[in-house]
Structure 1
Amino acid sequence: MSMAETERLDPRVNAYRTDLADARLEGRVNAARFVAGEPARIATGTASLREAPFEEARQGSELLYGERVAVFERKRGWAWVRNETDGYVGYVREESLGAAESAAPSHRVVALRSYLFDAPDLKTIPRAVVHLTCRVTVTDRHGDWARVADDGWLWAMHLAPLGEVERDPVAVARRFMGAPYAWGGRSTTGLDCSALVQLALAACGVACPRDSDMQEAGLGTVVPSLDEARPGDLLYWPGHVAFLLEGDRILHANGHHMAVAEEPHADFRARNMAKIGDVRTVRRIG
């Protein structure tokens, strides 16, 4: 097999290196060894997914509490993993991982953020902060508290069964207003443009790829032109995505405001036309 064939697989969502690769890719890529991923889950509020196994490496994405991962390697305190939510591959600190649960997730977090406590008592010191859209497995109830896996307790009113979904992705995205822009971030304390879309759609029960180019390539249906776009549609430029709102405004996480913000589409266009051009693709969900 030639390296040209290997390079056709996107390394962002396919776990392969010259020395090691996902067993599912055997026969498709060149690697010295193939392994089946060991199941695990994220046991901390968030976990930075790095592009290389060292602290100075750039964050490619971020994993959220409760997300299932496949672990291909554990070495020097780092784990090479694939996120089962969106397929993203990278390195996390090994202490972020917990044992995989046998039971499937039953609920998701519907509060913007919620504390995870060691006991069903709001006066105890929180163990972690969990974020909107985190999927959890409720194993017990105690009054207004829900026990999740073996990790602790969440306020039950901050949870909803997985079958109960939001209806309006824009309304969900607006809940992130003011959250700081963070390259690779996927939580309410910092996120990027494509993560805002991914999380807003996840709250509505719609699976969504991680990066804007992945979304542009296959999310929803294509709207033939910007003139035919309507509020709620997604506007894509090279490397960027935004929700279209009423009054030709857009909602997006962006580096100009360094936050999730609303602004006139005309302002964004004037600021970026020379750099990235006009809207390249419009996509509609539902």
Structure 2
Amino acid sequence: MEDRMTAMKTVGIVAATVAATALIGGGAYWFYRRRQKKKDAEAEEAEAPADADDDGSDPVTPEERRARGHYVPRTEIDADVMKKFEEAFGGGYAPPKDEVIDHLTQEDVVLFGVESEPVPGYPETREEVLTAKVRTVERSVVRARVIGPVVHAEHHGSHAGHGFRVGDMVEVPRGVILLAARPKPTEAKGYDSQGKSAATFQPSHKTKKTYEIHPGTPYDLVMPYITEDIEWYVDRELVKFELIGTKGLHQQIVFSEGSMRGGVTLRALDRDPETGLVFVARWELDIQP
């Protein structure tokens, strides 16, 4: 009986030893494969940078892919684009003369053509007629701020975007101006009365982001809630803004052209009759030129 027990113990020890050896061997092999894969991956990264193209060509930088475009002279605008433009403004269309441009004011707008430029990955181009609100009239250009709508600013599919965005300050050469006009007076007030919002911003105290904005351009702020007792505060005296209107929990605002450029904090506070001012939301903004 004792010999049998000894034999069984021996078998158990052998079995345990075989199992342990298998586990160690399997673990060692797994560790070896993992280490080898890591070395192979590091070697591949060393040979081909992360931003290299699949064909092994030189890496393409974000700057090379940036949406960009140029002004299009009146005589070079695509026939289809020009046809739609002329149809919109009637058969008697004629480009403005210099004396008309000389007397433009900040109540006026200019229309001009732009074309996108091909960049890596986006070989096709687009043309678009844009509208901009006049800021100053100079000898060779009109400085103006782009207003919406803008359709082809960004890349899409195989088409390159032209990079002219709502809110951008542009210097439009006189020779590319298609039309100069004064919009009809309107009594429209409230949300979207000054154009569609260029962007919508969640509160910075949640996103930890600072948003770039332009003067004279509507933006939507996403409010946690809205009451009749909301009060607004900016932390710089030389920054002025206007509340345009409300739609749901979106509060639309626009900063004046006369506002000092740079960083500004905008806060919404709720004046509670019992507890006083209650924090609602905060936006960190950077006013661009």
TM surpasses 0.5: no
Bin of the TM-score, shorter chain as denominator length: under 0.3
TM-score by length of 2: 0.27
Higher strand share: 1
TM-score by length of 1: 0.27
Higher helix share: 2
Q: Which has the larger radius of gyration?
A: 2
